[in-house]
Structure 1
Amino acid sequence: MLSNRLTIDELSELMNGNGKSDYEIYLKTKDLLSLQTNYNELCNADEIHFQLVHQAEELFFKSLNFSLLEINKYLLEKNYQRIISNFKRAHKAQECLLKTIEILHSMSPREYQDIRLKLGNGSGQDSPGFKSFLKISTTLWLSFKELFGIHDILDFEKIYHTEYVHNDVYLICECFLELDDLYNKFLYSHMKLIGRSIGLQAHSMKGNVVTNLTNRIARSLFPELWEIRSKMTSEWGHQYGVVRDSLSSQKVI
């Protein structure tokens, strides 16, 4: 006879599996699914989702960072097709990071306070995946500039303007720009989650005001790629006028 009653212990046993199938052995699911707090030790139902989301983010950062390490290898080998292919994979990992955090948007501020009591002074800025990403990105940028002999903004001006062709170096620049853009979106999404859970005027568990995070969001990993756009637009503006006449004021002949 079918029953609509399933105990937590029964569900846990079902979800954890027995670890004996090839699928479970290869993916080490027994170890992976034992890394979360036991149900009877959770402070509330939201805690398991909070923990899973942040653990999943570390895994996606691991995927992202390995992709970036591969890109660095292919930069040194001047394998442009592999560089662009691995950038696409890196961007997908970043998109997964953005989507994963949305799971916590339904978390109530009141219930998050119970979770917060268990975090010590933990902060997302202490994430090993996030810190590794920042370090690897810096190394990757240096490898890129060394490969193509890029030293200053004038070299980017050649790529984007005076010697512009839609070639490999331009496409790789745009891959870096997408990496940077998704990085800033990731920071922004976390700030918005913090706003939803504790408020933007609150203090973090390290004593910092949450609004200080906006300063980090304003920074870029590869500022030259954003600067060159402003520089080109400014130069063009001097040619056709920074402030243009409205179309409605022009005479129709």
Structure 2
Amino acid sequence: MVVDQLVADLHRAQVIASLVVSNPVPGGRAVLQELGEVVFLGLFLDQPVRHAGDCILSRVSDRTSQYERIAFEDLNYNSYLRVPDLLQLQQLQSDPPHHDEMFFIIIHQSFELWFKQLLHETDLLVRGFRKGSMSRVLKVIKRINAILACLCDQIQLLHTLTPAEFAGFRERLGTGSGFQSVQFREMEFAYGIREEFFLQFFENDPEAHQRLQARADAPSVYDEFLQALHAAGYPVPERLLAGQRTSTHELDEDLVSVLHELYQEPEGNYHWILVCEALLDLDMLVSKWRQVHILMVSRTIGGQKGTGGSSGKAFLEQRVHHRFFPELWEVRNRFFHSPSAR
């Protein structure tokens, strides 16, 4: 009987220890120590675990119950993240269900979640510029750039989708297209690329149209950067502070001169140079996203038109050279065309 009880207690100890190790809770280390004492008393002191360890197992049981309450209260991992709801959002349109449609949906849903986070971080970036907190600005841009790098890597998952596999369910997408991603358009508008003809594509979605219009009406990230630069004492042209930059395609040579002077004096401007370089990194990553997107489309559908009616690859190629911060790119040329650079 003693042996049977010992085996039963050891089994119970193993289960509890497994729970504590895989799901750490307060007091978990003490639970494991008490379990060890129980096993020691039973094996080496020839005392039945059932009796010698009663009080210890009682304490272990109390803590296990506490653990179970923690694990199964109303707010837990699944309920906090709404995992059951999340897993119901992949509604395949193909009939019979095409295996690769699930893969396609999950990748694009994850893109949209990351776009949401990018917009969330961008709003914090704007607040950082307004407060003149360059340390906060650098921290936020670091996260934005990490997310953009993740997106550039993630899009390569679609390289595992062959043309034949995509063709197996593409017609079920109807007119659905990444062209219609309101969050990506919000990103472009937030950073200053504001082609208002995109608004017409969301006229049948009042909420999306309103969100995009709000981004179009607000100062861009570049506007906020220039305001912060001006507030710090740099001679940013007044015309750039009076309102929004109407286009990111036209260079302002006076602003390029201001940035050139800033870069030439690194000792006094080091923080601002770091901000400029971080913004340039951001711009590079968005450009990389556009480029890998083009390659992915070319690899999957060649030169075919997009499902949303766009020209597909040709449309994407027209936008690949768009820049959020053109003067930060142009200032490089000043160092190799100015007399001091010769």
Task: Give yes or no for TM over 0.5.
Answer: yes
Gap runs ≥5 in structure 2: 1-73, 193-219, 231-235, 238-254
Gaps of 5+ in 1: 1-19, 241-253
State the match for 2:35 in structure 1.
none
Worse-superposed segment, 81-90 or 152-161:
152-161
Identify if the C-alpha distance between structure 1 residues 45 and 174 changes in structure 2 by more than 3 Å, giving closer, same or farther: same
Taking the aligned partners of 1:215 and 1:128, their CA distance within structure 2 comes to 19
- The equivalent residue for 2:266 is 164
User: Greater CA radius of gyration, 1 or 2?
Assistant: 2
Which position in structure 1 is the counterpart of 2:110?
56
Give the distance between the partners of 1:60 and 1:209, measured in 2 at CA: 23
* In 2: Cα distance, 1:209 partner to 1:87 partner: 31
1:87: how far off? 0.8
Kindly report the root-mean-square deviation, in angstroms, between the aligned alpha carbons of the 2 structures: 2.3
1:182 aligns with 2:285: yes
Match of 2:91 in 1: 37
Q: How much does 1:221 deviate?
A: 1.1
Residue from 141, 144, 155 that aligns with 2:222: 141
Among 145, 166, 190, the residue aligned to 1:91: 145
**Which protein, 1 or 2, shows the higher relative CO under an 8 Å CA cutoff with sep ≥ 6?**
1
How many Å separate the matches in 1 of 2:94 and 2:122?
A: 40
Letter in 2 for 1:204: G
3-state DSSP of counterpart to 1:148: helix
2:76 maps to a residue whose letter is: D
Aligned to 2:315: 212
CA distance in 1, matches of 2:228, 2:257: 16
Q: Which amino acid aligns with 1:132?
A: E
Q: CA deviation at 1:223?
A: 0.8
Query: 2-side partners of 1:233 and 1:122: how far apart?
Result: 47
Mapped to 1, the partners of 2:110 and 2:103 lie a distance apart of 10
Cα pair 2:155 2:293 within 8 Å, conserved: yes
The residue number in structure 2 matching 1:248 is none
**Secondary structure of residue in 2 paired with 1:118:** helix
Q: What are the residue-to-residue correspondences of 1:62-77 with 2, within 5 Å?
A: 62-77=116-131
Amino acid at match of 2:335: M
Distance in 2, matches of 1:75 and 1:21, equals 36
Q: Render the CA deviation track for 1:68-93: whole Å, top value 9, x for unaligned.
A: 11011011111111111111111111
Residues in 2 aligned to 1:121 and 1:221: alpha-carbon distance in whole angstroms: 29
CA distance in 2, matches of 1:192, 1:101: 10
CA 1:131–1:239 in 2, change beyond 3 Å: closer, same or farther? Answer: closer
Q: Structure 1 residue 224 and structure 2 residue 313: aligned? A: no
> Residue 192 of structure 1: which of 268, 275, 295 is its match?
295
Q: When the two structures are superposed, what TM-score results if normalisation uses the length of structure 2?
A: 0.60
Query: CA 1:178 to 1:109, structure 2 compared with 1: closer, same or farther past 3 Å?
Result: same
How has the CA–CA distance of structure 1 residues 207 and 67 changed in structure 2, closer, same or farther, with 3 Å as cutoff? Answer: closer
Return the match for 2:167 from 100, 113, 127: 113
SS of the residue 2:174 aligns to: coil
> In 2, Cα distance between the equivalents of 1:239 and 1:168?
23
Cα distance change on mapping 1:153 and 1:81 into 2, 3 Å: same
The sequence identity of aligned pairs, in percent, is 28
Alpha-carbon offset, residue 34 of structure 1: 0.6
* Superposition deviation, residue 235 in structure 1: 2.3
* Separation in structure 1 between the aligned mates of residue 141 and residue 179 of structure 2, nearest angstrom: 24
